Amino acid sequence: MKASYDPLSLDDHADAERLLASVRKEAPVSCPHPGVNVVATDGLARAVLQDPQTYSSLFNFTLEPGPAPEDTTGAKSVITQTDPPDHAVLRGFLRRWFAPAALRKLEPTVREIVEEVVDALPRTGTVDLVGDLARVIPTRVVYSLIGVPRADWNRVQAWADAANATLPRQNVAVIGELIAYLAGLLQERSASGFRADDIIDGFVQPRPGDPVFDQTEAPLHPLQLILAGTDTTSGLIANVFYRMLEVRTNWMRLLERPELVGQAVEESLRCDSPIQYVLRTVTEPSAIEGCPMSPRDRVVVSLQSANWDEAAWGETASSYDLDRRDSAAHIAFGSGIHACLGAPLARIEARVTLETMLRVHPGLSPAEGFEWKLVPALQMRRPRSLAVNLSPSRGCHHRAYTSETTS
Ligand code: HEM
């Protein structure tokens, strides 16, 4: 039987390392459903992402077996689902907050948030590093940047979690509730006259030359940022801590050489890509690696498979290696015109969280139950939970800890 990886199967997702390796070898472009093509190598993934004219982003983050719908009237106009020339207008507008220099200025705020979250942990004892740390920090950072009032954070996170969990199938009811909430927030802010230096303000108080959004469109953009910026970065933080503790010498090496923190983060993004794949729709008859594509065919670009591609990364491509060279050349943040706008922020959050935990809890170690149990969400890669022991002293953690690793 020809190798195949079904992006709509949780069983395949759980067995991704093995299945994607055989797909890369035997069928770099495979077709698990009629009209659905999975692209699995680094070179092909980059080629598709860098050709937005042939491979449209319309219907990105939506996948059903079969080609894309013919009727595009209901399609959204958010940045991840927009093609040129509209895409450039949205991207230009969002760069007011997401230009790398603007994001770098957020580092002190990120540090404050991380300190607060780490201070709230007990000095010693067992915690769930996913629930108590990795999930909390990115939501606080992104909600502050957007301007979601603190009193609403839990409510918004519950909606966002429910929406992300079902991707690439849209949780229409939950997304509808989140849109209604954000529409209310925009109206409230507009009516109150209250001004803040946040993204909601940018929509309420447009500057000359800004794009004009009607009341239906405006809430979709903060919605997109909430969905794009929280669960993804939580995944990154959870994944990098997993790799530091799965082989605790990695953690020890960071204690000795904190300058390796940036490399630990990049190798985590490569090896455990938080977003497993993105989606494109074919606009004109074309071919990828000799496989003919028809208009409306879907292309599943497996970022994870590209980042595990032996041809690009060598035979140990799917292993975590703190000494790997050029890890930062991964495509976990995408490639081409849609490459992640929040990447510098996600990197700051992960680096500052590691730095803070290395300082406050240098004795961090895996606890009973520490294991890689993949979250059951098709487009995400992170563990459901991570049981760890906290310790403010380096202490001695001689227990040889081995955890069962499943992909
Ligand atoms: C580790 C964390 C993150 C990962 C792995 C990630 C991954 C990605 C990927 C793969 C894309 C490209 C989508 C495509 O080509 O279809 C993307 C786009 C985007 N991301 Fe991120 N992201 C992360 C964090 C963030 C954060 C923190 C924000 C904002 C708060 C953000 C905002 C965006 C936006 C606005 C886009 C759309 C860019 C465009 O379409 O031009 N992301 N991200």
pLDDT in tens, 273-285: 999 999 999 999 9
55 domain-assigned: no
Rounded to the nearest angstrom, the distance between the alpha carbon of 255 and the centre of ligand 1 is 30
377 domain-assigned: yes
333 domain-assigned: yes
158 domain-assigned: yes
| Domain limits for position 175 | 76-275+316-390
163 domain-assigned: yes
pLDDT of 405 > 50? The answer is no
CA 333 to chain CA centroid, Å, is 8
Average pLDDT in the 277-300 region?
96
CATH code at 198? Answer: 1.10.630.10
Bridge partner residues of 38 (DSSP): 30, 300
**Of 240, 340, 347, 351, best ligand 1 pocket probe by most atoms within 8 Å of the beta carbon:** 340
What total of structural domains would you count in the chain?
1
79-120 pLDDT, tens digit per residue, is 999 999 999 999 999 999 999 999 999 999 999 999 999 999
Rounded to the nearest angstrom, the distance between the alpha carbon of 404 and the centre of ligand 1 is 31
398 domain-assigned: no
Question: What pLDDT, on a 0 to 100 scale, did the predictor assign at position 72?
Answer: 76
- Which residue's CA lies nearest to atom 19 of ligand 1? 340
pLDDT category at 400 given cuts 50, 70, 90 is very low
pTM: 0.95
178 domain-assigned: yes
67 domain-assigned: no
